[in-house]
Structure 1
Amino acid sequence: MNASSLYEQKPWLALYPPKQPAEITPQFSHMLAAFEASLQRDPEATALLYFDGKLSQQGLDQAAQRLAVALHSRGFGAGDRLGLYTQNNPAFVIGLLAAWKLGAIGVCINPMNKARELRHVLQDSGATALLCLDQLYLDVARDVIANDTPQVATVITCAARDGQSLDDARVFALGERLSAPDGVLDLQHLIDTPVDTTLPRPTLGADDVALLTYTSGTTGNPKGAMNTHGNLAFNAQTYRDWLGLTPQDRILGLAPLFHITGSVAHLSLAMLVGCPLILAHRFQPESMLDTLRMHRPTFTIGAITAFISLMNTPQARKDDFASFRAIYSGGAPISPATNAEFEKFSGQYIHNAFGMTETASPTHLVPLGKRAPVDPHSGALSIGVPVFNTTVWILNDEGQAATLGEVGEIVDRGPQVMRGYWNMPDATTAAIPDGRLRTGDVGFMDGDGWFYLVDRKKDMINAGGYKVWPREVEDVLYSHPAVREAAVIGVPDDYRGETVKAVVSLKPGADVSPEDLMAHCKAQMAAYKYPRIVSIVDELPKTVTGKILRRSLR
C-alpha cells in the first residue's frame, strides 16, 4: 500500500465509538434554517443566559428581527457586511442573526483591536454597518469611521450591562449607561421598540458566506477567511453528533465569539441544538467560576490557558466543574502534564480538539470517552482523529504523502474547509491548490490513526543545523511542578545561529530558578534541545482567545 492510500482508507475510523458513523449528512444547508428549526420546536426555550439575564428563542428572534428591520431600512441587505466589534454578550448573537436574516455577512472583529487593526478589517471587508460596544465606539471606532472608512453608513452601539442586572464590576465598568451619540443607533432601544417586522425572505445556501473571520496575521495583515453557511452548519452538527448534545445541555461560551471556535462551537452549535448558550462578557477567572456555579454548564471548549487560570484561582473547587459531561480544548497544544493536573483537580478530563479559522473550527477531535495517547518519542499528546466526512494527509517536504510516524505538513479536505480568502485569489490558490487546505501546521499520524501536532512551520528553531520544535521543549517545562505557563522561541546566537530560549510564568507561591528549569530540561532531552536561556515573568503575552503569543516574545 502506498502512503497516499493509507490516509484515504481512513484508519482512524476504527477509533470511532461503535455506533458513530464515518459520514454525516448535514441537516441544514444554512444556519438561519438551523436556528428557525430550534425556534419552531420550542419558542419558549432559553437561548441565552447572561449573568442573571435570560433570553428565550422567541426573544432572540424578535430582537434580531427588529435590528434587521432597522438595517434594512437603511439600505443594508444581501451580501453586505456587518462588523461585530463586541465581547461575549447577547448583542453579538443578535447582530449575527440579524445579518443572516437579511442574507448578509457577519464580520468578526477582535474587541482588543486598536485603530490600525480595526481600520484594516473595515476597509478590507468593505463593511457598511458596524455593531459595537459603546465604549469601543467612543474610544476607537468613531475616529476610524470618520477619517478612514466612510463606507460605514450605519453604526449601532450596545452596552455590556444590557440584558442583565448583576453588574459584575470584575468584568465591566459600572456607572451611567453611555448614550448613543447623534446619528448612532442604540441596540437596546431598537429591540425594545415594536415595529413592523416584515422582511423579504433571504435566499441562502451552503455556499453563501456566513462569516468573514480574520486570521491572526502571523504573516502580513490578517486575511478574511470566507466561512460559509455550509461550513458552519456542518461543523456545528459535527460537534452535536460527536458529543450527543440535546436541548437539555448547556454550552458555556468560554471562547470569544469573534473567534472561529466561539462562532461555531458556541453560537452556531447552540442555535442548531436549541440549548442555552451561557455568556459572561469576557473571561475573568473569579467571575467565570461564579458563572459555572450559577448556570451549571454541561459542555465547553476553550484555550488551555483558560483552564489553567481557573484551576489556579484560589476560590476554585472540584464541585465547580461537576456539571460538565464534556470539556474540550483547542487553539494551542496541551501538555500531558497540564491535562493530568487539571483532571486531578477538577475530576474532568480535557479532550483535545484541533482546527483553524480556515476550517471553521474542528478537523480533529478526541472521541468522547477516549483518552488521547502520548507519543513516546516526542511526549506530545494526540490532537485526536479526523471528524466525519474529513480526510487528512501528512505531506513531506517533497509534497508526497508521508509514511507512518513521518513528520510533515497537515493537509485537510472536508466540508468545513473555507471558500477562500476575501478578495485574495492568489492567497486562496496558495492555501487550497487542489481542494486540500495546506494548514502550515506540522505533525504526524501513528499506526492507529491518531494525529499529533508538532508545531507551526514558522516556529521551528534551527540550532546549529538541528531542528528544535518549541512544543516539545514546552511539554518538558510543563512537567515541572512550579511552571504555570511556558513558551519557547529561537533567538540569535553567534555560534549556533539560533539557540533555544524559554519564557515561563510560575504557579502561585512557587520558587524556582532559571538554572533549575534548564537542568530539568537538560535531564530529559537531547543536548541541542534544552533551553540555554530561561526568563521568568509574571504573565506571558496572549491573544484574547488565550493562545500564547510567541511572536510577541520574539
Structure 2
Amino acid sequence: MDQSSRNGADEWNLGKVWLQSYPPEVSPRLDYSAETVPQVLERTAASYPDHGALSFLGARMTYRQLWQEVTRFANALVHRGLRPGDAVCVMLPNCPQAIIAFYGALQAGAVVVMTNPLYVERELQYQLQDSGATFIVALDLLQERVLRAIEKTKIEQVIFTGIQDYLPIPPNLVNASAPPPQGANPPVVVSATIHRWPAVLESGRSEAEITSRQAEDVALYQYTGGTTGTPKGVMLTHRNINANTQQIFAWFYKCEPGKERILCVLPFFHVYGLTMGMHLGIAVGAELILLPRFESDKILETIDRERPTMFPGTPTIYIAIINHPKVAQYDLSSIKGCISGAAPLPVEVQQRFEELTGGRIVEGYGLTEASPVTHVIPLWHKRKSGSIGLPLPDTEVKIVHLETGAAVAGGEVGELAVKGPQVMKGYWNRPDETHEVLRDRWLYTGDLAYMDEEGFFFIVGRKKDVIIAGGYNIYPREVEEVLYEHPAIQEAVVVGVPDPYRGETVKAYLVRKAGAEISPAEIEQYCRNNMATYKVPRVIEFRTELPKTLSGKILRRQLLEEENEVAATKTENS
C-alpha cells in the first residue's frame, strides 16, 4: 500500500470504534470486483467445473452443468423476445430451476423479481404490475393462480416448471399419457405464450446475442415492506449483491473455497436466503443442499446424511431443531458456522445449538435495502450476548437522535443508519420514499440501537414498535430476551396494546415447549423477578404457534392488527 492509500485508510478508520474489536484476520476495507452476478457463477464454474454445485432431493448437478443450464436459459429468454432491462419474475421454492432462472435471466440482461410462491392472486398481480415484468417463471402447481393474476399485467411469456423436472426419476416410472390423479393440478396447456420448462431449455441450445450488463446496473427488484410499510421494489445492483457477498466471505475467513456445503433452507425469494445461501455459496464454490420448504424432520435427516458445513437460518428454525424430540438421534457435527438473522437470537438457543453441533452460531443484522447484511458477531473471535455484532468491512454506521438527526454518543439509543457498498440504489419508481430513508447515501433503518464502548451494536426495537407505558419507553426485544430464558417457553413475542390508564401496556404471546406447564401468573412473577416492574407483561396469551413468514420471521405486525381489530370491536359494542 502506497503512502496516499495508507493515509486514506487511516482517515477512513477514524472514529470507527468497532474496528478495535475486529478479528485480526479480517481487513476493514476490501477490494471489490467489477463483475456482474452471473459472471461470479461463470468464474466458479471455470474454477470448479466438476465440483458438486447442487444437491436436490437425491439429484445432483456439477458447476459445469449448472453454467450450461444457465446459459441455455438465458439464450431461450433472448430468443423469446426478452429485452435488456426487462423484468423477469421468478416464483419458485428452493429448487434448481430457481437458481437457473435467477442467473439465466441476469445473464440475458434482465432484472429479476423474486416472488413468494405463497402469494395470493392479488399480491402477485401487484408485484407484476409494479415491476412491469414481461416474463414469469412459476411452479406448475400455481398455474391457475398465475394465469388469473397476469391478466392485467405486461406479462408476455409464462414458463411453468415442476419439482419433478430435476428429480432422478427412472424413465419407466413416468407415464406421460396417464391422466393426473384425482384432485391433482391440471396439466399445463402449452401455447405461443405459455411454455414448459424442458422445452424452453431445449430451445436455448443455440447461442443468442446476449447484452452485457455492468456492475452498476440493477439486478434485482426485491419487494419488501421496508421501513415505511408499503410493498416496494428495492433496487439492488450487481455491485450491491456482489459486495455484500465479498463482505460476508471476508467475515467467514475460515471458509474454504471449493470445500464447503451450505444447507439452503432459507427461501431464495427472500434476500437473506438469496445472498447468504445461494450467491455466497456459488461465489465460494460450495455445494448447495436445497430444501424446498422448512420441515424440522427433513432438516435433521438432511444434515445427518448430506453433512453441510454452513447453515444460515433464523431463530425459529434453530428453535425447532433444538426442541425436536429426536434431535439426539442425528449427527449434526458437520456444522461449522451459522449466521442467524431476521429476528433476535436468544442466548439459550445459541448455547444449545452449539452443544448439539460443536459449531458456532452467531447473530447478524441486516435489511433488504442493504442486500441484506450490515452487522455480524465474529464467528471465531470475541462475542457478546444480545448484540448484532460489528459492522462488516467498508460499512459505516451512526446512531442518530430521533428528533434532531444528530449523531449521539456511545451508549445512547437512537436510530441506526448505515452506509456502504451493499446499500441499495433506491426504491423502484418511488423517489419520495427513497429520499425518506436514503439521504447522502446513508440508509436510515428505522431500528433503534446503541453502540457500547467496544463498538458492538445492540438493537432495542423498531421506532414504530416502541411501547410507551405510563411515560416509560419499553423495547420489545429486552422483554423477549427474558421470556426466552424461561425453560418452559419455546417462542415469545411482545407488543404494545391500548390501555386506558397507561396509554399502552405490554402483552406477551407465548408458545410453550412440548409437555411444559406454566400459567400466566407464574410468567408474570418470573418477569417481576428479572426486569423492572413497568416492563412486565400485564397481558399474557398462550398459543400453539405464532404467525411467521416463510423465512421464519415472527409477524409482529399481524398480531398488532389482530389487537387493533379486537379494540375496534369493543369500541363499537360499547
TM-score normalized with structure 1 length = 0.93
How much has 1:301 moved relative to structure 2?
Answer: 1.1
Q: Report whether the alignment pairs 1:189 with 2:220.
A: no
* Alignment check: 8 A CA contact 1:99 1:106 kept: yes
How much has 1:194 moved relative to structure 2?
Answer: 6.2
Counterpart of 2:340 in structure 1 is 329
Q: Which runs of 5+ in 1 are unaligned?
A: 168-173, 375-380
Query: Structure 1 counterpart of 2:147, which letter?
Result: R
* Alignment check: 8 A CA contact 1:65 1:197 kept: no
Counterpart of 1:499 in structure 2 is 505
Counterpart of 2:365 in structure 1 is 354
Counterpart of 1:170 in structure 2 is none
In 2, Cα distance between equivalents of 1:535 and 1:507: 14
Distance 1:177 1:59, change over 3 A: farther
SS at the partner of 1:321? coil
Counterpart of 1:276 in structure 2 is 287
How much has 1:345 moved relative to structure 2?
Answer: 3.7
SS at the partner of 2:75? helix
Query: Structure 1 counterpart of 2:236, which letter?
Result: N
Q: 2:527 aligns with which of 502, 517, 521?
A: 521
Q: Which runs of 5+ in 2 are unaligned?
A: 1-10, 171-179, 561-574
Q: For 1:18-68, what per-residue CA distance to the aligned partner results, in whole angstroms no more than 9, with x for missing partners?
A: 232111111343212211111111222211111211111121122222222
How much has 1:440 moved relative to structure 2?
Answer: 0.5
Q: Report whether the alignment pairs 1:32 with 2:38.
A: yes
Q: 2:188 aligns with which of 155, 169, 180?
A: 180
SS at the partner of 2:44? helix
Q: For 1:192-221, what per-residue CA distance to the aligned partner results, in whole angstroms no more than 9, with x for missing partners?
A: x36543122332222111111111367443
Distance 1:43 1:349, change over 3 A: closer
How much has 1:467 moved relative to structure 2?
Answer: 0.8
Q: For 1:440-498, what per-residue CA distance to the aligned partner results, in whole angstroms no more than 9, with x for missing partners?
A: 01101001011111111111111121111111111111010000000101111111111
In 1, Cα distance between equivalents of 2:330 and 2:14: 44
Q: Report whether the alignment pairs 1:12 with 2:21.
A: no
Q: Report whether the alignment pairs 1:402 with 2:402.
A: no
Query: Structure 2 counterpart of 1:262, which letter?
Result: G
Q: Report whether the alignment pairs 1:308 with 2:316.
A: no
* Alignment check: 8 A CA contact 1:298 1:325 kept: yes
How much has 1:110 moved relative to structure 2?
Answer: 1.3
Q: 1:142 aligns with which of 131, 140, 147?
A: 147
* Cα root mean square deviation, aligned: 2.0
Q: 1:57 aligns with which of 57, 63, 83?
A: 63
Q: For 1:231-266, what per-residue CA distance to the aligned partner results, in whole angstroms no more than 9, with x for missing partners?
A: 111111122222132111011112110111111111
SS at the partner of 1:486? strand
Distance 1:362 1:220, change over 3 A: closer
In 2, Cα distance between equivalents of 1:204 and 1:332: 35
Q: Report whether the alignment pairs 1:263 with 2:266.
A: no
How much has 1:297 moved relative to structure 2?
Answer: 0.7
Counterpart of 2:212 in structure 1 is 203
* Alignment check: 8 A CA contact 1:252 1:277 kept: yes
* Alignment check: 8 A CA contact 1:454 1:469 kept: yes
* Alignment check: 8 A CA contact 1:337 1:475 kept: no
Q: For 1:108-143, what per-residue CA distance to the aligned partner results, in whole angstroms no more than 9, with x for missing partners?
A: 1112211111111111100100011111222x2111
SS at the partner of 2:444? strand
Counterpart of 2:165 in structure 1 is 162
Q: Percent identity between the aligned chains?
A: 38
Q: Report whether the alignment pairs 1:482 with 2:488.
A: yes
In 2, Cα distance between equivalents of 1:195 and 1:224: 29
In 1, Cα distance between equivalents of 2:105 and 2:492: 40
Q: For 1:246-291, what per-residue CA distance to the aligned partner results, in whole angstroms no more than 9, with x for missing partners?
A: 1110111121101111111111112211221110111111111111
Q: 2:224 aligns with which of 208, 212, 215?
A: 215
Q: Where in structure 2 are the equivalents of 1:398-547 lying within 5 Å? A: 398-547=404-553
SS at the partner of 1:543? coil
Moved more, 386-395 or 32-41: 32-41
* Alignment check: 8 A CA contact 1:15 1:367 kept: no
Q: For 1:327-361, what per-residue CA distance to the aligned partner results, in whole angstroms no more than 9, with x for missing partners?
A: 11011111223222333344333211111100002
Counterpart of 1:240 in structure 2 is 249
Query: Structure 2 counterpart of 1:498, which letter?
Result: E
In 2, Cα distance between equivalents of 1:331 and 1:460: 18
* Alignment check: 8 A CA contact 1:476 1:524 kept: yes
Q: Which has the larger radius of gyration?
A: 2
How much has 1:70 moved relative to structure 2?
Answer: 2.2
SS at the partner of 2:244? helix
Moved more, 457-466 or 61-70: 61-70
SS at the partner of 1:317? helix
Counterpart of 1:152 in structure 2 is 155
Counterpart of 2:565 in structure 1 is none
Distance 1:418 1:49, change over 3 A: same
In 1, Cα distance between equivalents of 2:72 and 2:124: 26
Distance 1:201 1:70, change over 3 A: closer
In 1, Cα distance between equivalents of 2:196 and 2:513: 44
How much has 1:428 moved relative to structure 2?
Answer: 0.8
Moved more, 274-283 or 343-352: 343-352
SS at the partner of 2:166? coil
SS at the partner of 1:300? coil
* Alignment check: 8 A CA contact 1:318 1:346 kept: no
Counterpart of 1:377 in structure 2 is none
How much has 1:77 moved relative to structure 2?
Answer: 2.5
Q: 1:252 aligns with which of 263, 266, 279?
A: 263
SS at the partner of 1:206? coil
In 2, Cα distance between equivalents of 1:66 and 1:413: 38
Distance 1:363 1:99, change over 3 A: same
Q: 1:391 aligns with which of 393, 396, 407?
A: 396
